[in-house]
Every structure is written in C-alpha cells, then in structure tokens.
Amino acid sequence: MAVETAAFSEQTDIQRDITEMVRQFADEQIIPNAEHYDHEDSFPEPIVEQMKELGLFGVTIPEEYGGMGLDLTTYAMIVEELSRGWISISGVVNTHFIGSYLLMKFGTDEQKDHFLPKMATGEIRAAFSLSEPEVGSDVQGIKATAKKGGDGSWELNGQKMWVTNGLGSAVVFVLMKTDPKADPPYKGMTCFITEKEPWKEVNEGEYAGLTIPPKIKKMGYKGVESTELVYDGYRCPPERVLGGEEAGVGQGFIQMMDALEVGRVNVAARGVGIAQRALELALRYSQERKTFGKPIAQHQAIQFKLADMATKVEAARLLTRKAARMKDAGERSDLEAGMAKLLASETGKECVEECFRIHGGYGYSKEYEIERLYRDAPLLLIGEGTSEIQRMVIGKKLLQRHKI
Ligand SMILES: Cc1cc2nc3c(=O)[nH]c(=O)nc-3n(C[C@H](O)[C@H](O)[C@H](O)COP(=O)(O)OP(=O)(O)OC[C@H]3O[C@@H](n4cnc5c(N)ncnc54)[C@H](O)[C@@H]3O)c2cc1C
C-alpha cells in the first residue's frame, strides 16, 4: 500500500496568496500598459503608485518599520511576477530592496529609524551605486573619493555611472574610496547614504554638490531611468556613513558585496520572470499561427523549442528559489546565488530568442510584446555582474569548498 504523503507544493499559503495577487496586478495593470511607457520611455508613475498601495516597496522590511517582514524567497517570487509583466517595473523596486537590505543588515538604529519607515511605504525610493564610467566588473578599481573635512563631514567627489533610479530616488547608497593608499584597495572603501531631492537634476542647499545629467538612452529597460551621478563637493554628515563611522569606515566593499549576493537572487528572479513570459507568448502564438496546413505547434521542431524553454524556466526557477531559501536559512549562498543568476539570466535571453524565432517576422514588429522582451532581456546578462563574472565567482567558490 502506498504511504500517504503531503501534496507537492513549492509555496506556503502566504506565498501562494501574494504571488497570485502580484500576478493579477501584472496581468491587469503592468502588461496592458508596458508598451505605452516603453515606447515613450517615461516613468510608469500610476503603476508605481499602485505598487505603493500594495505594499511592494516594503516586502522585506520588518513589520516594526511598517513593512511586510517577508523573506528573500517570497520576495524572489514577487519579483518573478513583476518581471513577467515588465522588467522595468521590477527595476523600480530592486535597488530599493538592496538599499533596505543594507540598512537592515548594517545600519545604525538611527539610520533604520530614519529611513526604513519611509522606504517601506515607498514614500522615498533608494538607489545603489558602485559603477563608474571606467569601472563596472572590477569594483576595487573605483576612483570616486570621500575625504573627511575639518567640520567632521565627508566631502564626496567623483562620477558614478548607470545608476538605476538615479533621478527619482531620495537616497543613494554609494561606494567611495576613503583611503586611496589601502592595500588591498577594498579595505579603503566606505558606503555613504547620500540624500538628495527626488527628480531634481541640480541639488541645492544641504544636498548641493550632487547633479544628475540627463538619463542614458538605452536599447531596452525603458521607463526606469539609468543615470550618471556627479558628486562635486557634496557634503555627507558623519552619521550617514553606513553603520556609523566607527563600524562603517573601510567596510563599504564588504557591505556592498554582501548586498550583491541578495541582488543576484533578485536578478535571477527577473530572468525567470521574463523567460516565463516568453514561454507563455510562444505557447499562445504557436497554437494560433498555421503553416503547411497546421498550427506551427504541431511541427516537432517547434515543440522541441517549447519543451526546452519550459524545462529551462523550471530549472532556473528551482535554482533561484534554492539560493533564496539558503540565504533565508542563514547559510552561505554565494555559490548558489551566482549559479542562479548565471542560469536564470541566460535562460531569460535564450527563451526570449526562441519565442522571437517562433513569431517569425511578427517578432520583429513593435505590435508584438516579444519585440520589447527582446530588447529587455540582455540587461540581465550584465547587471549585478556579467555572466563571465558569475562564472569567476562560481569557479572560485567551488575551488574554496573543494580544496584538496
Ligand atoms: C541598464 C543598466 C542598469 C545598471 N544599474 C546599475 C546600478 O543601479 N548600480 C550600479 O552600480 N551599476 C549598475 N549597472 C552597471 C553594471 O553593473 C555594469 O555594467 C556591469 O557590472 C558590467 O560592468 P561594465 O559595464 O563596466 O563592463 P566591464 O567590467 O568593462 O566588462 C566588459 C566585458 O569584459 C568582461 N570582463 C570583465 N572582467 C573580466 C574578467 N576578469 N574575465 C573575463 N571577462 C571579463 C565582462 O564580462 C564584459 O563582457 C547597470 C548597467 C546597466 C546596463
């Protein structure tokens, strides 16, 4: 006689309820409107306002600060659904999520009390800034500096690049060199919580010295702005060193790399979301379009494409959730997060390309959603560390774990 076992479920009741709610939101509010905002490259304000009402800016922020207090696994499920709608929408929350993670893990009580309640409601949004015009992968090579002045404040100078939410954010977690002579260089880096006026290109008064040049024109990932940030004599009070001066000076690189580990799970979830959407579009179109007297879905070559896409989506989803669950359980997940990011972002690109091929000439038309996905998917191969960098992380960690 068979032993009775519980039905297989990957999600708890709360996770199922919340992902269903976000999926419905994506179906009703994001997907029908994405084309408009993508075409205009304008900020999707009404969608973002609704996300505030749904509490999506405070998913992982503890309840005592007004958030939902949910774990990374549930957050990854939400991000997957948002990205299935449009990856730019998940882009609006992702650097915000990384900022709240930095505060929750390393912030002083005063920093948490000051920022987290306003971040939980989405009243203010956060950006995260490592990259510079000459530096992306090699973070230890940053050039922007912060120097302590006689009045106790820090003076920030230098140019940052590719800052998602660079204009609309009210707070930027930015990595600066505070000891240019440090050897190795990462020991001389500090993370500053720099405040600014949202949507203002030239900041004045207490935020003077921070200007935001016009947004970078991009192939895809439109709607959410990517900007440079120019710090030129910006004054940052000592209490805005992440974790406080005593604990935080010289710790910025380690803090930011820790945040990137959760950031990679985050990007992996976005890869799963866009791949899932490509699969759905391919399943629909291949049953509608006929060639040689039958729906193209009845040609074995197309079925094989669908089979490979569905298998890859499922594998990427499972690996992403595994990495998230390990982090939630307090285990080291750098290897798994790297693997999840690598597999899911490549899966996103591959599924989008296969869906594009299945659409034939129509895939090249702006009338079809796949055209937008085709421009959006490559970003995931680059952001939070390229595929080459993920392979370097995975290889290094493997050798550390299996040293003979
Ligand atoms: C739309 C968008 C949004 C972004 N948002 C943010 C943000 O919010 N905050 C932020 O800080 N950054 C952001 N970035 C920057 C992003 O993180 C970097 O672009 C990325 O890390 C790659 O850096 P890079 O562009 O300087 O490429 P490079 O580091 O110059 O790399 C160029 C190529 O060389 C390869 N390469 C580099 N080093 C090695 C090596 N050792 N071995 C083998 N190959 C190597 C890379 O994989 C890549 O193929 C964003 C980028 C984009 C496009």
pLDDT digits (tens, 9 = 90+) for 292-315: 999 999 999 999 999 999 999 999
pLDDT for residue 225 is more than 90: yes
- Concerning whether 384 is annotated as a catalytic residue, the answer is yes
The contacts of residue 225 (CB under 8 Å, 6+ apart) are 43, 164, 165, 166, 167, 168, 215
- Please give the distance, rounded to the nearest whole angstrom, from the Cα atom of residue 369 to the centre of ligand 1: 27
3-state secondary structure at position 147 = strand
- CA of 164 from ligand 1 middle (Å) equals 13
| Residue 3 reports pLDDT greater than 80 | no
Mean pLDDT to the nearest integer, 272-280? 98
- d(C-alpha 328, C-alpha 177), whole Å: 31
Q: What percent of the chain has pLDDT over 90?
A: 96
How does strand 171-177 pair with strand 189-195? antiparallel
State both tokens at 140. Answer: 């230890």
Can you read off the two tokens belonging to residue 393?
A: 């992380």
Report how far Cα 90 is from the mean position of its chain's Cα atoms: 7
Give me the pLDDT at residue 211, please.
98
Q: What is the DSSP letter of 132?
A: B
Mean pLDDT taken over the chain = 96
136 CB under 6 A from ligand 1? Answer: yes
Q: Which residues make beta-bridge pairs with 236? A: 154
Mutate which of 94, 162, 215, 342 for ligand 1 pocket (most atoms within 8 A of beta carbon)? 162
CA dihedral over 13, 312, 32, 47, signed as positive or negative: positive
User: What pLDDT score was predicted for residue 2?
Assistant: 59
In this predicted structure, the answer to whether residue 1 has a pLDDT above a threshold of 60 is no
Pocket test for ligand 1, best of 192, 217, 222, 386 (most atoms within 8 A of CB): 386
Q: How confident is the model at residue 61 (pLDDT cuts 50, 70, 90)?
A: very high
Contact (Cβ atoms closer than 8 angstroms) between residue 265 and residue 340: yes
- Residue 223's identity, in one-letter code, is G
Residue 118 has pLDDT above 70, yes or no: yes
Q: How does residue 367 score in pLDDT terms, banded at 50, 70 and 90?
A: very high
- Dump the DSSP string for 164-199: ETTTT-SEEEEEEES-TT-SSGGGGEEEEEEE--TT
Q: Which residues pair with 145 in a beta bridge?
A: 157, 177
| Ligand 1 and 254: CB distance under 6 A | no
Residue 37 and residue 47: Cα distance in Å, rounded?
Answer: 10
Q: So what's the pLDDT on residue 5?
A: 63
- Residue 213, preceding peptide bond in cis (omega within 30° of 0): no
Ligand 1 atom closest to the CA of 137, numbered from 1: 29
pLDDT in tens, 132-187: 999 999 999 999 999 999 999 999 999 999 999 999 999 999 999 999 999 999 99
Contact 19, 78 (CB under 8 A): yes
Torsion sign over Cα 52, 58, 63, 66:
negative
Query: Is the beta carbon of 129 within 6 A of some atom in ligand 1?
Result: yes
